Amino acid sequence: MVQEHFRVVYDGAAVEDGEMDVSQLASSLLALGKLIENADAVRTGETGRVKVRVRADVQRGSFDVGIAVHWLEGIKDAAVGWALTPEGASTLALIGLLGFTVKDVALLGGKGVIQAVRWLRGRKIERRIVLQDGNTQIITQDGDALTLATDVARLVDDPQIRQPLERFTEPLREEGVQEIRFESEPGAIVERIDAAEAAIFAATAGSDPTSSAEFAATYQIKRLFFERGRKWRLSNGAQTITAEIEDEDFWHRVDSSDVAFAKDDYLECVVRMDQWFSGVGLKTEYRIGKVVKHIPAPRQTGFPSF
């Protein structure tokens, strides 16, 4: 089989002992496999050409996973000859197209899907212009332009790519995983995605919601972060949500130590709920636009005297 190899490393306090929650890891790696397989299918119009296999290798202080991308034997002969053409080379360098390695960096202009998504920062692509050199220029709603290999430009906002990319980066939205990095070999870092930028890798970033609603609600804090952009886990007793807090006045009070939190505290807040229809169903996201009041959890004051 024709093969490509790279490494994915999950790093942070939650994996510093070389262990990682199995459901979190499995979901992320399944999404990575689907991302690679979908990218080849979108690029070629054919399915089932590649398979992704995992070789686990635990390193102290992180969780390190080796990835092998296999092109099926039935296309090997054609692929070997085809690889000599720029078009064929870009397909065989599929993980380069996605931005996981530096392979064919000259062909890709140094930017794969990951780098293009980072550049977009949630902005929508308004126009595409195919250039005379065969590359494609993407232009955002605010007029910024970026030139990409045409294959990358095709992939960057395709739902079949963005949805598994979001699921692959989901551990960064959970407590304790600070970064996911890509290595060509152990210790040779090629690219990394850190927790602070996880939101821009959401599949819905830059797209208008199908429906929106705003309402007042009180939630009990189940998990909190003191880093902007991270999602808090909140419960109203019947439903648990994750939501980013966007209230700058609230963050100013937190930074100034004017508010302190304890277990089971409450937030009275104004919530925005956005929903999108996607290829995998309905997606719902919550944002806290304003924290009206922080309510300390009821405290036991002691036993009554007799």
Secondary structure letter of residue 3 according to DSSP = E
pLDDT at 18: 60
Hey, what are 87's tokens? 């078009």
* Cβ(295)–Cβ(265) below 8 Å: yes
* Cβ(21)–Cβ(63) below 8 Å: no
Average predicted confidence (pLDDT) for the chain: 78
Q: Which of 242, 202, 207 lies closest to 221, judged by CA?
A: 242
Query: What mean pLDDT comes out for the span 71-82?
Result: 46
To the nearest 10°, the Cα dihedral for 293, 294, 300, 305?
-50
Q: Which of 242, 205, 250 lies closest to 226, judged by CA?
A: 250
How far is Cα 274 from Cα 39, in angstroms, rounded to an integer? Answer: 28
* Cβ(87)–Cβ(79) below 8 Å: no
Q: Inter-axis angle of helices 159-168 and 22-44, to 10 degrees?
A: 160
For the ranges 80-89, 151-160, 207-216, the lowest mean pLDDT is seen at 80-89
Question: pLDDT digit string (tens) for 143-198?
Answer: 999 999 888 898 898 888 888 998 899 888 877 788 888 887 777 888 889 988 88
87 pLDDT more than 50: no
90 pLDDT more than 50: no
pLDDT at 1: 44
Residue 91 main-chain phi, psi, to 5 deg: -75, -45
Q: Inter-axis angle of helices 159-168 and 113-120, to 10 degrees?
A: 90
Q: Specify the 3-state DSSP secondary structure of 128.
A: strand
Q: Which of 159, 153, 155 lies closest to 140, judged by CA?
A: 153
How far is Cα 193 from Cα 215, in angstroms, rounded to an integer? Answer: 33
Question: pLDDT digit string (tens) for 213-255?
Answer: 999 999 999 988 887 878 888 999 899 998 989 999 999 999 9
* Cβ(184)–Cβ(102) below 8 Å: yes
88 pLDDT more than 50: no
User: Could you tell me which residue, 75 or 70, shows the higher pLDDT?
Assistant: 70
* pLDDT tier for residue 304 given thresholds of 50, 70 and 90: low
DSSP string covering 180-192: EEEEEETTEEEEE
105 pLDDT more than 50: no
Question: pLDDT digit string (tens) for 8-31?
Answer: 888 887 676 666 676 777 888 888
